[in-house]
Amino acid sequence: MGLKDDLLRGIYNYGFEKPSAIQQRAVMPIINGRDVIAQAQSGTGKTSMIALTVCQVVDTASREVQALILSPTRELASQTEKVIRTIGDFMNIQAHSCIGGKSVGEDIRKLENGVHVVSGTPGRVCDMIKRRTLRTRAIKLLILDESDEMLSRGFKDQIYDVYRHLPPELQVCLISATLPHEILEMTSKFMTDPIRILVKRDELTLEGIKQFFVAVEREEWKFDTLCDLYDTLTITQAVIFCNTKRKVSSLTMLIG
């Protein structure tokens, strides 16, 4: 793919072994500057695809915002920012999430110090632009993640407001599970000759996950077993499910 060496280090450190279907199809067109419509659902590896393409196109010599990612929820925007920072760690990529529920003062301080990438929700991003804290003159890539969800949550006007403040020579990537009329209308206004990529349900990365179980005979042995797994395996991220709230609280204290 011709990715930067420090980006490859970040990708391997993150735990990637081979690209998912959407990564195989979407990374190169985006890196090459094409507008892209990717019809993909959760579980396709789209967040990591966003992260590695953003890290590839950003010029770290400049501390201006060069890539903007809009997401429908605070959680997704925050997750995207964290993945970008992790994959771009060896490149010293500076990313920040502009989301509601966080201090406006913190957003202002981070943006004034200079970041390469902003991941946020439309409302807070629009607010930061209108405050002239988020300067848009150097933004060259706009990614609209889960676009159908953003429209269903009533963010259409804010998305258009953000777009109007961006430079005319702008590359746009739109990711959506469905492509209703409003999405197609948006693509006709925002995009130039876009490449359309479809990732089918049977190509979800969840299908390729290996599943194992450990038979633990006694309840008090479970935490030690979990610790053994962490000591033995390279685990970059994990979600641990428990069957009661009490166990979640107890495990959080033990790990914490």
- Domain 5-202: assigned CATH number: 3.40.50.300
| Residue 222: how many other CB atoms lie within 10 Å | 15
Average pLDDT over residues 174-197: 91
Q: How does pLDDT run across 87-116, given as a tens digit for each residue?
A: 999 999 999 999 998 899 999 999 999 999
Radius of gyration of the chain (CA): 20
Distance CA 102, CA 119 (A): 13
Sequence spans of domains, the chain: 5-202, 219-255
Q: How does pLDDT run across 30-48, given as a tens digit for each residue?
A: 999 999 999 877 777 889 9
